[in-house]
Structure 1
Amino acid sequence: MAASTPNVDPSEIAKFEALASRWWDPHSEFKPLHDINPLR
């Protein structure tokens, strides 16, 4: 069996890890997403 090649870009992982801490904060720059969520 051949070794698998990672298909992940480490810079993309770092970018989304940095956003993760603010994503669920309803007062962060993602506030508009929280505001429209009840409409869905």
Structure 2
Amino acid sequence: MGEIHLLPPTSPPVNAITRPRLNTNTSPAVELPDQ
């Protein structure tokens, strides 16, 4: 899981794992597949 933190915030899937709540407001479609 450390690699996820190393990755840049440019990746939308990585952001969903790091901060799903923030992603919900930014991209609700990303939360659906994430869950």
Query: Do they fold alike, i.e. is TM over 0.5?
Result: no
With CA pairs under 8 Å and 6+ residues apart, which has the higher RCO, 1 or 2?
Answer: 2
Higher helix share: 2
> Which interval holds the TM-score relative to the shorter structure?
under 0.3
TM-score by length of 2: 0.25
TM-score by length of 1: 0.24
Structure of greater Rg: 1
